[in-house]
Chain A
Amino acid sequence: MEEINIGDYSLLGKSIPRIDAYEKVTGEAKYAADIELPGMLWCKILRSPLPHAKILNIDISRAKRLTGVKAVCTAKDFKGFRWGWMPITRDEPPLAEDKVRFYGEGVAAVAAIDEETAEEALELIKVDYEELPGVFDPEEALKEGAPVVHDYRPNNISWEFHMDFGDVEKGFKEADLVREDRFATGRVITGFLEPPAAIALWNSSGITIWAAKQSPYFVYRHLAQCFNLPLNKIRVIQPFVGGGFGGTKNDSVAGDFCSVLFSKMTGRPVKFVYKMEEVFLTCRRRHNAIIYNKMGMKKDGTITAMQSRLIADGGAYTAIGPLTMYLTGCISTLPYKLPNFKHDAYRVFTNNPVGAAMRGHGVTHTRFAAEIQMDMMAEELGLDPMEIRLKNAIEAPYETINKVTIFSCGLKDGLLKLKEHPLWKERKKENKDKETISGVGISGVAYLGGARQRGYQSCAAVLRLCEDGTVEYLTGATDAGQGSDTVLTQIVAEELGLSIDHVDIQRVDTAYTPCDAGSYGSRVTALAGEAAMKAAKDLKRQLAEYAAKEWNVSSEDIVFKNNKVYPKHMPDKAIPFRKLAQIACYSGVGAVIIGRGYSQYGIEPYDFEKGIGNAGTAYSFTSQLTRVEVDKETGFTKCTDMIIAHDCGKPLNPGLVESQNQGASVQGLGQAIYEEFVMDRGRTLNANLADYKMPTAVDAPNIEVIHILTDDPKVPYGAKEASEGAIVSSPPSVISAIHDATGIWFKELPVTPEKIALALREKKKE
């Protein structure tokens, strides 16, 4: 088993196999779509064939009469309920009310005894639309006279942020070179394997829903609001989850509300499972951001100022978009010293599907622009892209101009490792044949761990000691596939000196588990991990008191290790942990021993209006080398190698940290050169897995992850972040590699073979 020495631990730093591996590999693991209940109905949603239209009338009478149909609903049945991230941005109804705002928006839904009948019934619903002119490009939407998507935002600006630190004009004056470029980051989606699905049941206990969610406490609150029930009547039960990556599974979908409503109407359990095309057409995507970036640099490579104007395609509703906008700016001051910074972000409504969070949230847009522009300027000034990064890289401790505080930073360390790597040192070697040219690119980025939104942010853990010395662990955190259940269990077992199989983690059930913000923003290990650690310490403290009594020593001197307990300096007196558990549980009246803990890190306020302060608890630093081979004529690009120097702080489970980096960097590769929704006036032309080109295993490069160890006091055991850094570092390093190969700077993602081939032909003509 791979092991990295990160301190005096029995389990931490070891690549413990995933605790859910057996269930997943054997198929024992049940996902939402696997669950069936007696008498269950199927819910299907009728979706708009127009991107922007008034709904004049919906006639559901024929659908209702179809044999096997048990209920039909439209927006009216939700009585004006709308949801959204902030009270003032609650603009999204479960089904379209007076008008549809994007192609594929839900307009009505059916519950029937089986899928076929539900699908057939949809065909019988007659909707009269009056088509409205649509707007599909955020820059067009900002123009005077553009069609208005929401009346409450007559200028189509869904949200805006203005951050201004130092004096950018002064900074540009001090610079020897100032560049302005326009970048675009592309229309992509998360690509989880498991589509949204749930089965809902309404009865006298309230709502029970088994839902595929990566952050179940969002839908928990949404359902309470929608159906006007107290939270203790909302029970969200978390099955296994097949991937999340932000956005859709951190939110509710139309199917959630409709299936609950149908269960209320019919008294029967109601299930829905989205089709993959439905996901591609209607679920949350990453915003496509257009970034006008301006940077000032001195001859020696020192960055003097940066100014970004970002225009993001928000699509038809606000969702979590304001936070995206915030993150595009507040982290721009990392990971390079930046004395002057101005950021204007506009999230713009269009008649496209909704833009929201996705792995690398917000940061990936502006960091891509900044990294590429930095390289362009280095080239103009005759500077080495490695040296320019080393020169500007921050070192801990550090406070950015917008008061982001850094207590550990492994960026320079990582860059120096990459500088010595053969891939970098030998990059000028000959090309392998006359058709293929190769190139190596570099990037260096930061990402926040333990991210916070504006509201309730704490994580909690409860440990129940069983009389045989085993432990039940309740957490509100969800493992959407990233492996957090394993790491959290490792933490609890480590603290209690138990082997991993003595601790059993329970998946979220809001009736029993403590409330949690969710699995986003790389916050689970940092914050749920802190809660787990504290709960274990709390349990240990209680047990130590019983032990201390037995041996007549101070409770501080009790050691828990290797499933045993003993007084310090007297290991020969050791008794099994099980024995101590019995003593404790059977003492006196019979004690109930429960350990409790909650996270306290990162709760100081930050200024959400101005972009000041820490939106994260600690920050990871990732630098990456990428090698590509480009076919000079066809433009076909094969990424052959990625070397990722990743400072996650302390890797509590190195194998999981590596697999997160692998997954994130290949997802980033997809964004860089493969994936893109092709749109035609709000319609997605390639809403399927054949034509939306996610890279497959054969397209993935060799990936080497170099662990850069740092020690951050702000997070438990120094573990900062390990799933989002590499999706930020990947696109710029790929694009910089393509530039190294072709001599061309591409500023709009994805850089497809066609774009490369045509650009190379243009270049040849010149």
Chain B
Amino acid sequence: MVIFYRRLPKFEYIKPESQNMLFEILSDNKNCSVYAGGTDLIPKLKKRLIKPPDVLIDLKGLNELDYIKIEGGTLKIGALSTIYSVATSKIVIEKFNILSQAAKSIAAFQIQNRGTIVGNICNAVPSADSAPALLVLNAKLNIKKKDGSRKVNIDEFFIGPNKTVLDKDEIVTEVEISEVPSSFKGIYYKLSTRGKMDLATVGVAVLLGSDNGRFSDIRIGLGAVAPTPIRAKRAEELLKGEKINKELINNAARIASDESSPIDDHRASATYRKIMVETLVKRAICRLTEVG
């Protein structure tokens, strides 16, 4: 049967007013879905792409999860912070600019005001725009459940398309990003057919620290070119500590492209995506290092 968008399936809807209540329900062993902005979840339910939950848990009753703050140099983004608030946050723009660039590139204002950064990550599609930026920022995710909590590095969080390390009774409460030296610069390139309101065919984030003409630190994050968002670690290794020069950048870009494993789909061919990884990694590093 061909299924179009349908009315929502039937489920119980609960909007907990405290985290205790939330974790209580989550630990109840029912089939639950956590609902933040719903911009990924609701279309999936309407399209019957996922099994309808018994209980839909709306996080929006937990106002305490809506924050963006700095604590001892560390940036903390609560699970209810919208994409728009992250994109336009003064702290983020000044100290973690690449994340603001990534957030701004998502969809358009309506979705940005509804969807959350944490939702973008938990949905775990390879093309999630905030992921490459969070990867190069070495973000950590604070994860909680009824009687416990853990911290997971973002590069260990994704395990496949739509799959993360989260257990059924856990949620991500916060994204945490340690201070980035103020001399670091970053670029997020999103390649898409349209200028706005489009999904990434390829996403490339590069964060660069340079010192005396050398790459003191370099981190490359890639989106939409592998089963999960990834870091191009081998390319980074090639550059780290080396003198900044064009040839090396070209080689690193080629290696980054080798590290990607895109597929052919209706959005683009694997061939094009691989070439674009090379092109955009090179372009980003050249622009950041001002190498011609």
When distances are taken between beta carbons in the complex, the residues of chain B under 8 Å from A49 are 1-2
Please, how many angstroms separate the alpha-carbon atoms of A674 and B198 in the complex? 12
Checking A633, A638, A757 against B195 with a beta-carbon cut-off of 8 angstroms, the contacting residue is A638
Is the Cβ of A690 less than 8 Å from the Cβ of B199?
yes
Chain A residue nearest to B191 in the complex (CB):
A634
Checking B1, B191, B266, B272 against A691 with a beta-carbon cut-off of 8 angstroms, the contacting residue is B266
When distances are taken between beta carbons in the complex, the residues of chain B under 8 Å from A693 are 193-194, 198
Is the Cβ of A691 less than 8 Å from the Cβ of B267?
yes
Q: A678-B266, A758-B272 are in contact. Are A753 and B279 (CB under 8 A)?
A: no
User: B165 on the interface (CB 8 Å rule)?
Assistant: no
Is the Cβ of B272 less than 8 Å from the Cβ of A754?
yes
User: B291 on the interface (CB 8 Å rule)?
Assistant: no
Binary CB contact string for chain A from 233 to 277 against chain B (1 if under 8 A, 0 otherwise): 000000000000000000000000000000000000000000111
User: A435 on the interface (CB 8 Å rule)?
Assistant: yes
**CB interface residues, B 198-214, toward A, < 8 Å:** 198-199
User: A160 on the interface (CB 8 Å rule)?
Assistant: no
Q: A678-B266, A757-B272, A757-B275 are in contact. Are A435 and B283 (CB under 8 A)?
A: yes
Checking A123, A674, A754 against B194 with a beta-carbon cut-off of 8 angstroms, the contacting residue is A674
Is the Cβ of A633 less than 8 Å from the Cβ of B279?
yes
Task: Looking at the assembled complex, report how far the CB atom of A756 sits from the nearest CB atom of chain B, in whole angstroms.
Answer: 10
Is the Cβ of B193 less than 8 Å from the Cβ of A275?
no
User: B269 on the interface (CB 8 Å rule)?
Assistant: yes
When distances are taken between beta carbons in the complex, the residues of chain B under 8 Å from A638 are 195
Is the Cβ of A103 less than 8 Å from the Cβ of B2?
yes
User: A119 on the interface (CB 8 Å rule)?
Assistant: yes
Please, how many angstroms separate the alpha-carbon atoms of A103 and B267 in the complex? 21
Task: Looking at the assembled complex, report how far the CB atom of B285 sits from the nearest CB atom of chain A, in whole angstroms.
Answer: 14
Q: A685-B266, A757-B272 are in contact. Are A123 and B195 (CB under 8 A)?
A: no
Is the Cβ of A275 less than 8 Å from the Cβ of B4?
yes
Is the Cβ of B195 less than 8 Å from the Cβ of A278?
no
When distances are taken between beta carbons in the complex, the residues of chain B under 8 Å from A518 are none
User: A164 on the interface (CB 8 Å rule)?
Assistant: no
Is the Cβ of A115 less than 8 Å from the Cβ of B4?
no
Task: Looking at the assembled complex, report how far the CB atom of B206 sits from the nearest CB atom of chain A, in whole angstroms.
Answer: 16
Binary CB contact string for chain B from 1 to 40 against chain A (1 if under 8 A, 0 otherwise): 1101111000000000000000000000000000000000
Q: A695-B194, A758-B271 are in contact. Are A278 and B1 (CB under 8 A)?
A: no
Chain A residue nearest to B279 in the complex (CB):
A633
**CB interface residues, A 689-703, toward B, < 8 Å:** 690-691, 693, 695-696, 698-699
User: B280 on the interface (CB 8 Å rule)?
Assistant: yes
User: B187 on the interface (CB 8 Å rule)?
Assistant: no
User: A104 on the interface (CB 8 Å rule)?
Assistant: yes
**CB interface residues, A 59-105, toward B, < 8 Å:** 103-104
Is the Cβ of B194 less than 8 Å from the Cβ of A699?
yes
Binary CB contact string for chain B from 176 to 191 against chain A (1 if under 8 A, 0 otherwise): 0000000000000001
Checking A277, A636, A686 against B4 with a beta-carbon cut-off of 8 angstroms, the contacting residue is A277
When distances are taken between beta carbons in the complex, the residues of chain B under 8 Å from A691 are 199, 266-267
Please, how many angstroms separate the alpha-carbon atoms of A531 and B242 in the complex? 80
When distances are taken between beta carbons in the complex, the residues of chain A under 8 Å from B267 are 691
Please, how many angstroms separate the alpha-carbon atoms of A275 and B108 in the complex? 22
Is the Cβ of B1 less than 8 Å from the Cβ of A636?
no
When distances are taken between beta carbons in the complex, the residues of chain B under 8 Å from A634 are 191, 276, 279-280
Chain A residue nearest to B273 in the complex (CB):
A754
Chain A residue nearest to B271 in the complex (CB):
A758
When distances are taken between beta carbons in the complex, the residues of chain A under 8 Å from B194 are 674, 693, 695-696, 698-699
Please, how many angstroms separate the alpha-carbon atoms of A754 and B271 in the complex? 9
Please, how many angstroms separate the alpha-carbon atoms of A49 and B2 in the complex? 6
Chain B residue nearest to A685 in the complex (CB):
B266
Is the Cβ of B272 less than 8 Å from the Cβ of A47?
no
Please, how many angstroms separate the alpha-carbon atoms of A116 and B7 in the complex? 6
User: A30 on the interface (CB 8 Å rule)?
Assistant: no
Is the Cβ of B283 less than 8 Å from the Cβ of A754?
no
Task: Looking at the assembled complex, report how far the CB atom of A752 sits from the nearest CB atom of chain B, in whole angstroms.
Answer: 7
For the complex with contacts A277-B5, A281-B4, A693-B193, 11 further pairs of A-B residues with Cβ separation under 8 Å are A119-B6, A119-B7, A278-B4, A685-B266, A686-B266, A690-B199, A693-B198, A696-B194, A698-B197, A754-B272, A757-B275
Closest 3 A/B residue pairs (Cβ):
A275-B4, A678-B266, A685-B266
